[in-house]
A = this chain, B = another copy of it.
Amino acid sequence: MERAGIPATTIQRLPLYLRCLLQAEEQRIPLVNSGTLAEMCGTNAAQIRKDLSYLGELGTRGIGYEVRALIEHISAVLGITERRRAVLVGFGRFGGALLGYPGFAERGFDIVAVFDSDPDKIGVSVGGLTVLSVDELEGVLQATGAEIAIMTTPGDVTQELADRLVRAGVRGILNLAPVRLVVPEGVAVRQVCLSTDLQVLSFHLAQNTL
């Protein structure tokens, strides 16, 4: 499968396409063309065709794209045909909220362990899981084979924990802590920072008040 050479921006749009296609499938729509899919996604037809062309020749000229087949293809490229295991590090406000979020499981991601360093939280059981001590990080990661970590830890310990996670086999980190992580080659990091987003919004507000 020709996966290399797909632009990063295309990859970031695939989950959106997937969501729209699943929606179409629910409505029993068997076929879409680039125009209608673009409308569903809020993009343009050329973008859709170009993006999908990177995954192979998935459409039929004069007809369009078969919804089910396209879902399969995109899922395969995103590597979510099998379920993926993730651990949650940090059981605070955000950590707790994320654990209860059904969206992860719906999209094929299973949270298989939760860690914290606060003795008051360790042992708490929630959603079928028990909060574990971060001391057990390495052992549990080995046992579960989880490859993804979602971090909602205080800023000052995040890099250190990330290092341990990587050493223990994690190769993808979704970081909600307001810290720029440094990770070795081959490990992917997605940084989420709501404060940053608010500041970008603020810029736009300031712009429009000239």
Residues of A within 8 A of B (CB): 3-4, 11-12, 14-16, 18-19, 41-42, 77-80, 84, 86, 93-94, 96-98, 100-101, 103-104, 106-107, 109, 147-148, 150, 171-174, 178, 180, 182, 186, 188, 190, 192-210
> Residue of B at shortest CB range from A181?
B42
Does B172 contact A202, Cβ atoms closer than 8 Å?
Answer: yes
Sample of 16 more A-B contacts, CB < 8 Å, known A15-B200, A79-B202, A190-B197: A77-B203, A84-B205, A93-B96, A98-B194, A101-B194, A107-B199, A150-B198, A172-B202, A173-B201, A174-B194, A174-B197, A174-B201, A186-B208, A188-B201, A188-B205, A190-B201
- How far is A14 from B206 in the complex, measured between Cα atoms in Å? 14
Please name all residues of chain B whose beta carbon is closer than 8 Å to the beta carbon of A77 when the two chains form the complex: 203, 206
**Smallest Cβ distance from A77 to chain B, in angstroms?**
7
Q: Say yes or no: A205 contacts B93, CB within 8 Å.
A: no
Residue of B nearest to A204 (CB): B188
* B109 x A200 contact (CB < 8 A): no
Q: Bound complex: CA of A172 vs CA of B202, how far in Å?
A: 8
Q: Which 10 A-B pairs have the closest CB atoms?
A: A79-B206, A172-B201, A188-B204, A97-B97, A93-B97, A190-B197, A15-B196, A15-B199, A79-B202, A42-B180
Chain B residue with the shortest CB-CB distance to A92: B97
Q: Is A198 in contact with B148, judged by CB distance below 8 angstroms? A: yes
How far is it, in angstroms, between the C-alpha of A171 and the C-alpha of B103 when the chains are bound? 28
Q: Are A16 and B198 in contact (CB under 8 A)?
A: no
Contact of A208 among B84, B171, B195 (CB under 8 A): B171
Q: Which residues on B sit within 8 Å (CB–CB) of A207?
A: 3-4, 79
Which residues of B sit under 8 angstroms from A42, Cβ to Cβ? 180, 182
